[in-house]
Amino acid sequence: MLSRTLVALLCFCLLSISACGDSPEHQFSAISAGGSFSCGINTDDRLSCWGWDDAERTASAAGEFRSLSSGSAHSCAVDTAGQAQCWGLNDDGRATAGSGSFQTISAGYFHTCALTDDGQARCWGASDHGKTSAPSGTFTDISAGLHHSCAITTDGSLRCWGADLAGVTSPPAGTFRQVSVANEFACALSTGGQIQCWGAENHDRTNPPAGTFDSLSVGHHFGCALDSDGQAHCWGRDNQGQTDPPDDSFTEISAGQGHACGLATNQGVLCWGSDSHGQLHP
C-alpha cells in the first residue's frame, strides 16, 4: 500500500509537472484563476492558459509578459514593454486593450482596469454603472470586479467607483497595500496585514479570518489569503471545495469563479475547487 506521503507526492505531480521536473512550460512566475479557466506566466515569461476555451479564453497572447489577470471570460496581461494585451470574450470592448504603458492590470467580469506607469487609473469595457469612469489621482493598486472597481491611492486610502450594490463602493477608512474586488464585495489588506472586507455578506464572504497576511485574492463569493509562512486560508462559499486549499506553501494565490490556484515555492501550480472544464490542471 502506498504511504500517504507518496500519494500526496503523486497528486502534486499530476497537478503540477514542475514538481517532478524542471520544464519551463510547467513552472510559473505568476498565476491567475478566472471563470472556469486559469492562466499563468511561465518562468520564460510566456503565457499559458488552460480550462474552458469558450470564446477563446485560453487562446493567450504571444510575447513576454510581467503582469497577468483573468476575469470571468477574458484575460489581460502587460508585456515586458508595458503594453497591454487581452483575449477572450470581448463584449462591450472588455478585451480591447487600452493604449499606453502600464505597470499592472485587472480583468473583471465585464470590464478591465489598469495602472499606467505613472500610477493613473485607466478602465475600458462595459461602462454601465460608471464602472469604467476611474477617478483622477495616482494609485498603487487596482482591481476590477462585477459592476465596480477599487484602487489604493498613494497615501494608502481606498477609492471605489461603479454600482454601489450592498455598499461595495463605500470602502472602510484606513491605510491599505492591496485590494481585490469580485461580485458585490471586496477585500483589502491593511498596511498592518489585516484583512477588511465589505459589501454583500451572504456566504460569509465578508468574514475573513483574523491574523496577519501577506497577500489576498477574492473570487466569486469567496476569498483566499496567504500568511507569512505561505499557508493558504480561504473563506466564503464552499460548494465546490474552493475554500479547502491544500496544506502546502505558496508565494502567490488567486481566487476565481469556483476554484483557486496557488503558486508553490517550487514554481509549480496547485489548484483546488471546481474542475468542470479542467481548470485545475495546467
CATH assignment of the domain containing 42: 2.130.10.30
Task: Find, among 177, 125, 117, the residue nearest to 151 by Cα.
Answer: 177
Place of cell 472556469: 36
Answer yes or no: are the C-beta atoms of 81 and 61 closer than 8 Å.
Answer: no
In a domain, 215, yes or no: yes
In a domain, 95, yes or no: yes
DSSP classification of residue 209: P
The mean pLDDT of the chain is: 92
Answer yes or no: are the C-beta atoms of 30 and 263 closer than 8 Å.
Answer: yes
Confidence of residue 25 (pLDDT cuts 50, 70, 90): low
pLDDT tens per residue, range 184-223: 999 999 999 999 999 999 999 999 999 999 999 999 999 9
Rounded CA separation 66/42 (Å): 10
Task: Find, among 216, 222, 259, the residue nearest to 237 by Cα.
Answer: 222
Please measure the distance between the N-terminal and C-terminal CA atoms of the chain and give it in whole angstroms.
28
Q: Return the H-helix or E-strand segment holding 248.
A: none
Query: Domain tally for the chain?
Result: 1
Task: Find, among 192, 185, 178, 252, the residue nearest to 223 by Cα.
Answer: 185
pLDDT tens per residue, range 28-60: 999 999 999 999 999 999 999 999 999 999 999
In a domain, 42, yes or no: yes
pLDDT at 26: 81
In a domain, 154, yes or no: yes
User: pTM (2 decimals)?
Assistant: 0.91
Confidence of residue 3 (pLDDT cuts 50, 70, 90): very low
In a domain, 55, yes or no: yes
The rounded percent of the chain whose pLDDT value lies above 90 is 90
Cell digits for 236? Answer: 466564503
Does 113 score more than 70 pLDDT?
yes
In a domain, 76, yes or no: yes
pLDDT at 15: 40
pLDDT at 24: 54
Bridge partners (DSSP) of residue 84 are 78
In a domain, 9, yes or no: no
Domain encompassing residue 166: 23-273
Does 8 score more than 50 pLDDT?
no
In a domain, 14, yes or no: no
DSSP classification of residue 241: S
pLDDT tens per residue, range 53-110: 999 999 999 999 999 999 999 999 999 999 999 999 999 999 999 999 999 999 999 9
Answer yes or no: are the C-beta atoms of 84 and 77 closer than 8 Å.
Answer: yes
Cell digits for 146? Answer: 462585477
Residues 6+ apart with CB under 8 A from 78: 65, 66, 67, 68, 84, 102, 103, 104, 105, 114
pLDDT at 221: 98
Answer yes or no: are the C-beta atoms of 25 and 19 closer than 8 Å.
Answer: no
